[in-house]
Copies of this chain bind each other. A is one copy, B any other.
Amino acid sequence: MFSVDNFFSFSPMKSRSTLKHIAEHLHLSISTVSRALKDHPDIAAHTKQKVRELAELIEYEPNAFAIQLRTNASKVIGVIVPEISGYFYHAFIAGLEDEARSWGYSLMILQSGNDPETESANLRLCRMNRAAGILVAAASGTTDLSPFDRTDAAGIPVVFFDKVPESRQFPKVSMADAEAGFLSADTLISKGRKNILALFGDHALSITRKRLKAFQGTFQRHAPDSRLTIRHARSQQESRQITFDAICLEEYDAVFAMSDEILAGAMKAILQRRLRIPDDIGVLAISTGLIPSLYEPEISYIETSGEKLGKRSFEILHKCMSKAAPHGEFLVPATFIEKGSL
């Protein structure tokens, strides 16, 4: 019938493997070829056979651009994060990619660098590429939500995660911060820790306030006689300094760190003072899990899994994309992972 050679002699390889070429060499119409390849019932079995054979032979691969133009939809999900690196987002992205791939979607990753302007430009990119949906961890400076409105109006669902704005307009998925705070306090109480240095992040951040509120509330309710020393740190260095000063001044039962960054700082101070864990001092953190696994003994922690958040976020976004618009805020539960530090 035909060989690879004489096919290619007609059209030299150069990505010229289109429906049209298959059609020409089989003396069929483009539409027939198109239907044959997607197993349309209208097409005769022997025709399908021939088409499939040639398609395989010349390694036909559909042109995504044409399909996307025709259907005006892509299988790409835009992801906008302040930074890819750092303690948290890469885990999120990994989990998200896993889930997305199993549904046939790919990820388009954009960093905002915490700059609302870049964020807006990235959003525009997603619109131009007709992303199927967008996941956003808002830049800390973002107050104007109109760029997101525009995206939403263009029919591209937007779901916020982790750093979510106040607005109730968009679906949001975040860690169960209150639960994590509660669980932290509960764990410390049940381990009999009474005199605790509790390190939190920037008080301006809602995540800090949520965790702190639940943490304090739980102590007041279930162990009002405990001694709680609350401190706030805005960086690893600050956390270290605060911890060091504190443990030099006084003996604590335990140190609690509300995040990986804070934990890293606190651990430095503890290592510097050469305190024994858990005998001299107990340690508990809210964490993604990597950092706690680096010490000896490993640090017990309340897990706020980036992977899980990623998977969950995709689920919510996926619902949004299939017209069944969910609404409100969704929480990824926190769980206690026991290691040897308490």
Q: Please list the residues of chain A having a beta carbon within 8 angstroms of any beta carbon in chain B.
A: 13-15, 59, 61-66, 68-69, 72, 74, 76, 83-85, 90-91, 93-94, 97-98, 101, 106-111, 124-125, 127-130, 150, 153-155, 236, 264, 267-269, 271-272, 274, 291, 293-296, 307
Query: Which residues of B have CB within 8 Å of A90?
Result: 84-85, 90, 93
Q: Offer 9 A-B interface pairs, CB within 8 angstroms, sorted by A.
A: A61-B124, A61-B128, A65-B68, A97-B111, A101-B110, A101-B111, A106-B125, A267-B294, A271-B295
Query: Which residues of B have CB within 8 Å of A93?
Result: 84-85, 90, 109
Q: Which residue of B lies closest to A118 (CB)?
A: B101
A176 to chain B, nearest CB (A): 22
Say which residue of B63, B128, B269 sits within 8 Å of A69 (CB atoms): B63
Q: Are A65 and B130 in contact (CB under 8 A)?
A: yes
Query: Which residues of B have CB within 8 Å of A274?
Result: 274
Closest 9 CB pairs of A and B: A90-B90, A271-B296, A65-B69, A268-B296, A84-B94, A85-B94, A64-B128, A65-B68, A272-B296
Q: Are B109 and A109 in contact (CB under 8 A)?
A: yes
A150 to chain B, nearest CB (A): 7
Q: Which residue of B lies closest to A260 (CB)?
A: B294
Query: In the assembly, what is the distance between CA of A295 and CA of B264, in Å?
Result: 8
Query: Which residues of B have CB within 8 Å of A293?
Result: 236, 264
Q: Are A128 and B62 in contact (CB under 8 A)?
A: yes
Query: In the assembly, what is the distance between CA of A194 and CA of B302, in Å?
Result: 43
Q: Are A84 and B97 in contact (CB under 8 A)?
A: yes
Query: In the assembly, what is the distance between CA of A69 and CA of B107, in Å?
Result: 20
